[in-house]
Amino acid sequence: MSYQRRVTPNNFGGLAGQSFENAKAVILPVPYEGTVSYGSGTSNGPQAIIQSSRFMEWYDIELDAEIYKKSGIFTLEPMAVSDLQPEDMTVKVEKEYAKLVEANKFVVMIGGEHSISYATDRPLREKYPDLSILQWDAHADLRDSFEGTKFSHGCAMRRFYDNAKRIVQVGIRSFSVDEAEYIKKNNLRGNIFTPTEFNVEKIIERLSPNVYITVDLDGFDPSIVPATGTPEPGGLFWKDFLKLMRAVFAKRNVVGCDVVELAPITGQPSSDFLSALAVYKMIGYKFCQ
């Protein structure tokens, strides 16, 4: 086994010597699975990302750096939210997130289902009133309510839109007739980029100076990320992700991000590993460009 040097500790990256005080980047695991509709298992997502991340190379060829040495990366304890209703979960995560924003940390939240993302909105919007949201996803998530709650994963972007009026959606290839109506009524189609419409420059033009990024892993093609609840065909690829993220981090002030909806498949670690690298790459683009 050639990975022996990474056996400990059990944190993101398998990194020794990290402290909350010195780290610019912190990982916030939110193993929440309250409202997932089809596949299940997202509550295991955070631990699978952390476990895979211990086997990544710390050195990044593209950035010519051991990313963690420039940023520091401290992994917080997973939040205890599994028993909560979506609205109560949102309130609890929002409180925790606000403390991290207050402490000036770049937070990467790892899920968990997509309903966790909206908890970042109030703390970040208070600090960055112009905040826009960049969503990587197969689904529009623009339902007003879903399965009896306004805080479902199917409503994540609708809640953001209620506040932000500035969301940019990339990789989208599935939504309901009600969402289609809503998109037409609010003239949102120009901010939606299906995989065939993927265009980095046009996407970035739509974003305000301060940006929050939410990465639903089903935005990727299921051939490279099969481990999601709704693996929609016709998705985006790793190179698309790197090209977009590198440019967004260079041209905008990214103030936080999340990677959600990993539903690990036992014995098939490729989705977990890609998720871990997605987290590490975004930290790299933030602190090493």
Binding site residues, Mn ion, CB under 5 A: 137-139, 216, 218
Residue 43: what are its φ and ψ, rounded to 5°? -65, -20
Smallest distance, Å, CB 150 to Mn ion?
17
How far is Cα 114 from Cα 148, in angstroms, rounded to an integer? 16
Tokens of 192: 């939606």
Q: Which residue's beta carbon is nearest to the bound Mn ion?
A: 139
Q: Whose Cβ is closer to Mn ion: residue 138's or residue 142's? A: 138
User: How many other C-beta atoms can be found within 10 angstroms of the C-beta atom of residue 54?
Assistant: 19
Smallest distance, Å, CB 228 to Mn ion?
7
Helices (H), ranges, 165-261: 177-185, 200-205, 238-251
Q: Whose Cβ is closer to Mn ion: residue 63's or residue 224's? A: 224
Residue 229: what are its φ and ψ, rounded to 5°? -65, -35
Q: Whose Cβ is closer to Mn ion: residue 31's or residue 123's? A: 31
Smallest distance, Å, CB 111 to Mn ion?
11
Q: Whose Cβ is closer to Mn ion: residue 227's or residue 288's? A: 227
Smallest distance, Å, CB 6 to Mn ion?
31
Q: Whose Cβ is closer to Mn ion: residue 28's or residue 142's? A: 142
Smallest distance, Å, CB 70 to Mn ion?
31
- E strand spans, the chain: 25-30, 59-60, 65-66, 73-75, 106-111, 132-136, 167-170, 192-193, 210-216, 253-260
User: How many other C-beta atoms can be found within 10 angstroms of the C-beta atom of residue 256?
Assistant: 26
